[in-house]
Amino acid sequence: MIPVIHVEQIAEYIGQEVTIQGWVYNRTHKGKLVFLLVRDGYGFVQCVAFQKDLPPEIFETLVHIPQESSVRISGVVRADKRAPGIPGGYEIGVTGLEVVQAVAEEYPISLKEHGVDFLLDRRHLWIRTQHQWATLRVRATIVAAIHEWLGEHGFIHMDTPILTPAAGEGTTTLFEVDYFGEPTYLAQTGQLYNEANIFAFGKVYCFGPTFRAEKSKTRRHLTEFWMVEPEAAFCDLDELMEIEEQFISHIVQRVLRDRAAELAVLGRDTQALEQVIPPFPRISYDEALEIITQIREETDDPALKKQLQITWGNDLGSPHETELTQRFAKPVFVYGYPTAAKAFYMEPWPGRPDVSKSVDLLAPEGYGEIIGGSERISDPDLLLQRIHEHGLPEEAFRWYIDLRKFGSVPHSGFGLGVERTVTWICGLDHIRETIPYPRTLKRVYP
């Protein structure tokens, strides 16, 4: 019996006859031999068929087999530096072929150039191509590394609701859902529920889709994206930053270890990623503003000068983050944002009420914000005051204020945007390729 193997493990089978089950990715006919590049979901491998070694009908079938036909191919594994694939360097000398389905119509996605619109309309097929496949494999490893690190460090996974009452952070960006005649909203964050959960479990995290009805049309935005939100009791801002840098470096190092072939396909500079080890630089919002001001003074580009305009009190925008993080090789913490620029629940800086105990983590190489986090207000009276100041309905937050009445403690948490993290680690220039089926302002199909 010939063993059925996955291409990922092909190196273990050199010299043996094996069967692979997969799909024809590309075909090159050279007269008396045919090269097939076959993908099996686990990798891509070149299969070589010589006319003299095969029955005529099998060779003739191989010469004409259409792209994306499903096949079982048997053959002998050998190492050959010339062989393309993932991992490359191995090929299968074909001895047998079973066509499971011969594709009858022309496959729409060739291995040539296509436009974004065309590919996104065919996302269900596009994910079969090497770049997309590699990106989504890295995504899966990032998600696995997230659960792995949090689990090993005492955080337990506690799901939070997707359907939520009003609340949230700004009602203009919520998707409304009819809930038996009452309006409810798709979750923007699980944080408030996480805060309830830590008083029961100590350290928790939620991991789920979040929804923002923002009319953003940029390479950093999706309307549906995945966020992991750890939250910890008895944790201040400094401890939070230590957690974040350990967490992020674990994710990056895990991808470097397990997804080297995928990063190579993506052309990612792994030297930049190898530097992602603690400690990460920490700069205050005030210092960030000084650096940005300096960059602004040094540039000769009038458009950039205009974009980098910022006055104290405003949040950093994309252009600021891009310019700032191009100066760093590691992710960089920016802490102590103005209270006015951030959410209502953030603990004030001791002695500086206009500054919050908030911290964002900005990915290097111009990628910008991947984490937003803070120490949360622990005093019930201050929390209630902030809710009023932000014009939020007190009724909806009654349970949330309760948390500060019954055993309040200093606590902190953060949210990591999975797709932005994948964009950075893969070195992509657009977030839409980091999720199997992206939801953007103008697209909900397929």
Near RNA in 269-298, by CB under 7 A: none
Residues sharing a CB contact under 8 Å with residue 75, sequence separation 6 or more, in sequence order: 17, 18, 47, 92, 93, 94, 95, 96
Structure tokens at 335: 């802490």
Contacts (CB under 7 A) with RNA, residues 426-445: 430-432, 440-443
Query: C-beta of 43: minimal distance to RNA in Å?
Result: 14
Q: With beta carbons less than 8 A apart as the criterion, state whether 31 and 63 touch.
A: no
Question: Does 64 engage in binding with RNA (CB under 7 A)?
Answer: yes
Question: Tokens 């220039």 — which residue?
Answer: 429
Among 116, 200, 260, 329, binds RNA (CB under 7 A): 116
Number of residues that bind RNA (CB under 7 A): 74
Query: C-beta of 407: minimal distance to RNA in Å?
Result: 27
Are β-strands 163-164 and 156-157 bridged in parallel, bridged antiparallel, or unpaired?
A: unpaired
Query: C-beta of 170: minimal distance to RNA in Å?
Result: 6
Contacts (CB under 7 A) with RNA, residues 396-415: 415
Please identify, using beta-carbon distances, which residue of 11 and 116 lies nearer to RNA.
116
Contacts (CB under 7 A) with RNA, residues 317-376: 317-319, 321, 341, 368-372
Interface segment toward RNA; rule CB under 7 A; list 64-72, 148-156, 178-186, 244-252: 64-72
CA dihedral of residues 294, 297, 299, 305 (deg, nearest 10): 100
Query: C-beta of 309: minimal distance to RNA in Å?
Result: 9
> What track of x and - describes contact with RNA for positions 162 through 201 (by CB under 7 A)?
--------x--x---------------x------------
Give residue 284's identity as a one-letter amino acid code. S
Among 19, 21, 42, 67, binds RNA (CB under 7 A): 67
Contacts (CB under 7 A) with RNA, residues 69-108: 80, 82-84, 91, 106, 108
Q: Which residues, in sequence order, are bridge partners of residue 52?
A: none
Q: C-alpha 366: how far from its chain's center?
A: 16
Peptide bond into 393 cis (omega under 30): no
Peptide bond into 279 cis (omega under 30): yes
Q: With beta carbons less than 8 A apart as the criterion, state whether 394 and 365 touch.
A: no
Among 216, 294, 326, 385, binds RNA (CB under 7 A): 216
Please identify, using beta-carbon distances, which residue of 141 and 191 lies nearer to RNA.
191
Contacts (CB under 7 A) with RNA, residues 28-47: 28-33, 35, 46
How many Cα atoms within 13 Å fall on the side-chain side of residue 119? 17
SS3 content of the chain, % helix, strand, coil (to 5): 35, 30, 35
Question: Does 233 engage in binding with RNA (CB under 7 A)?
Answer: no
Among 21, 26, 270, 299, binds RNA (CB under 7 A): 26
CB burial of 96-129 (b: ≥16 within 10 Å; e: otherwise) equals: ebebeeeeeeeeeeeeeeeeeeebbebbeebebe
Among 48, 62, 186, 204, binds RNA (CB under 7 A): 48
Query: C-beta of 291: minimal distance to RNA in Å?
Result: 17
